[in-house]
Chains A and B, each alone.
Chain A
Amino acid sequence: MGHVLALGKRELTAYFLSPVGYVVGFLFIGLYNVFFFFGFMRTTDANEAIAGGTSAVMTFAILAIPFLTMGLLADEKRSGTIEMLMTAPVADWEVVLGKYVGSVIFVLVMAAPSLVQVLAVKLYGMPEWGPVWSGYVGLVLLVFFLVSMGLFFSSISKSALVAVMTSFVVFIVLLIIGIVVPQSPPAIEASNVFSNAAHYLFALLKYASISEHYANFSWGMVNSRDVVYFISGTVFFLFLSTLAVESRKWK
């Protein structure tokens, strides 16, 4: 565990020392606060104001995370520092987990100022607390999941540029399939193999969609189904990243 903490701390401080960390961090904080402010001005409902702020954080997290995770492993490979890491007595999974922890903490630190929004709303209204906290639980789970994916794409890319583009495409696809795929799947006709397959495909796409799972949290529901989606996805991508780091040994 000591290794993971040391690696995580290094990654976290690296964000504060790098221009990417600053630029992305300030843009992120600035943008979600602007969006919250406009929502705040338009609505009289306390919960709607807070939910608007949280969904702004989510939207910009999806845009910011690819930039924050792109270099995690791709840059190490490009600059050769991976050789320094992997010849020290640390295991591959420790490196992956350490980088993951450092990155998640940075994103959460960037998202933390949005709690001020909650305080601001509380000054002027009486929000119902359930949906507020469930919204934040969803946000944290979403960050866990997106960072693990970003880390994975960094682990399989030779350059940060490729990693950031792959992450973007995948994030956006996972976000919009929930909107594109029709709400109700086509009716099953027992005789028709294709419509049967389509039914399962629709169900699968719906299950894979981020927005589908995230929406429940903002309505105040913490379903085990959604929690399992984010946590298992996170574990899955961390595992794949470890395999990708190990894969240097298979060539």
Chain B
Amino acid sequence: MISVKNLTKYYADNLALDRVSFEVEAGDIVGFLGPNGAGKSTTMKIITCFLPPSAGRAKVAEYDIIDSPMEVRRRIGYMPENVPLYTEMRVREYLSFRAKIKDVPRKERTARIEQVMSRCWLTHVQRQTIGTLSKGYRQRVGLADAMVSDPEILILDEPTIGLDPNQVRQVRELVKELGQDHTVLVSTHILPEVEMICDRVIIINNGRIAMQDSLASLRKGSSKHVEYYLEVKGPADEVDRVLRTVEGITELSAHPVHHGGDDVAGFTFKAAREGGAAEAVAAKMVTSGWSVRELRRRERTLEDVFVEVVGRELPVSA
């Protein structure tokens, strides 16, 4: 649906995007992730035909962004960062104006506006001036605007930034719902958000694609080895000695235990996902007379992946 090839963008002499390539399949919800200033918004501005690329191509639904920008714009519902709106207009009036310039046929206009207003919980504020609305409501007006022409593709730049936790949840649910019949590209730097709503993730850093993968295969990790965490009630050095005798365990190391007495020891180790190493450890602990308080597999979180590919910069967790 969206196909980006070697997109490069210079702002004056600053390289903002460096040969960015990715594909978004029809029906996918793709999370566009990266630290601030990584190039997320720039990429979105190029795909939506607001800014031209310095080099490279992008196609939206088979239309080139340079050759047929109007066709591209017709197929995209875009919500820019911070949702700029005409604050003196009323909600309904604004959506009606947007529907007109987005070529929604006159006959369908009223029905479309009613529909998006109810879907974005705006019906009860439709006669209110946008300037008097809270940030959360403005965000919803932006979403309603993106949806008003019923585009195939939605591009949302940080749709949940600045919202309270309740509104964040509502917007996430809405985006997820929209993903059922739309192709969605959503940028954010809130990692759990991506885990909640997206099928695929693209991580961008310093203007380059750092990684792209489906969320499912990300969770599994690239290697077959997974990390385990073990907490045992027993003398640390002896447990350590016993653990080293278990076959198939690597990278064993002590792990501080936060809640527990002096007699509780914590360890992390790696072992094959399949192969029974964890079961063997549990059996060994029991036969040695130590009770196992915790033994679990630590799935790779998106945060782990993000820190791996993006490096030192710490991501924001919600």
Give chain A's interface residues, CB within 8 Å of chain B. 2-3, 6-7, 9-10, 13-14, 17-18, 79-91, 248-249, 251
Chain B residues positioned under 8 Å from A82 (CB to CB): 84
A89 touches B84 (CB 8 A): no
Minimum CB distance partner of A19 in chain B: B88
Contact yes or no, B101 A83, CB < 8 A: no
B interface residues (Cβ-Cβ under 8 A, vs A): 11-12, 45, 48-52, 70, 73-74, 76, 78, 80, 82, 84-86, 88-89, 93, 97-98, 100-103, 145
B101 touches A79 (CB 8 A): no
CB distance from A74 to the nearest CB of B (A): 14
A87 touches B86 (CB 8 A): no
Could you say which residues of chain A place their CB within 8 Å of the CB of B48? 87
Q: How far is the CB of B92 from chain A (nearest CB, A)?
A: 13
Task: Select from chain B the residue with minimum beta-carbon distance to A14.
Answer: B88
Taking a contact as CB atoms closer than 8 A, the residue among A10, A18, A87 that contacts B73 in the complex is A87
Tell me the smallest distance from the CB of B142 to a CB of chain A, in Å: 9
Choose one: B45, B89, B103; the contact of A83 (CB below 8 Å).
B45
30 intermolecular pairs with C-beta atoms under 8 Å apart: A2-B100, A6-B97, A6-B100, A7-B101, A10-B97, A13-B93, A14-B86, A14-B88, A17-B88, A17-B89, A80-B80, A81-B84, A81-B85, A82-B84, A83-B45, A83-B50, A84-B80, A84-B85, A84-B98, A85-B101, A86-B50, A87-B49, A87-B73, A87-B78, A89-B70, A89-B73, A89-B101, A91-B70, A248-B51, A251-B12
A2 to B105 alpha-carbon distance, docked (Å): 11
Task: Report the minimum CB–CB distance from B80 to chain A (whole Å).
Answer: 5
Which residue of chain A has the shortest Cβ distance to B75 in the bound complex?
A89
In the bound complex, residues from chain A placing their C-beta under 8 Å from that of B80 are 80, 83-84, 87
In the assembled complex, the CB of A246 is this many whole angstroms from the nearest CB of chain B, namely 10
A85 to B153: give the CA distance in the assembly, Å.
18
Question: Which residue in A9, A81, A89 is a CB contact (below 8 Å) of B102?
Answer: A89
Residues from chain B with a CB closer than 8 A to the CB of A79 are 84
Residue of A nearest to B129 (CB): A17
Contacts of B70 in A (CB 8 A): 89, 91
- Give the complex CA separation of A10 and B82 in angstroms: 22
For A87, what are the chain B residues with a Cβ–Cβ distance below 8 Å? 48-50, 73, 76, 78, 80
- Specify the chain B residue showing the minimal Cβ separation from A83: B80
Contact with A88, one of B12, B86, B101 (Cβ below 8 angstroms): B101
| Residue picked from B52, B101, B102, B103, most chain A C-beta under 10 Å | B101
Is the Cβ of B52 less than 8 Å from the Cβ of A88?
A: no
Question: In the complex, are the beta carbons of A251 and B86 less than 8 A apart?
Answer: no
A89 in contact with B74 (CB, 8 Å): yes
Q: Which residues of B contact A85 (CB under 8 A)?
A: 101
The CA-CA distance from A14 to B131 in the complex, in Å, is 13
Residues of A within 8 A of B76 (CB): 87
- Chain B residues contacting A9 (CB-CB under 8 Å) are 97
Q: Let me know if A251 and B84 touch, CB within 8 A.
A: no
Contacts of A80 on B, CB cut-off 8 Å?
80, 82, 84
B45: chain A residues at CB < 8 Å are 83
Kindly name the residue among A10, A84, A85, A86 whose own CB sees the greatest number of chain B CB atoms within 10 A. Answer: A84
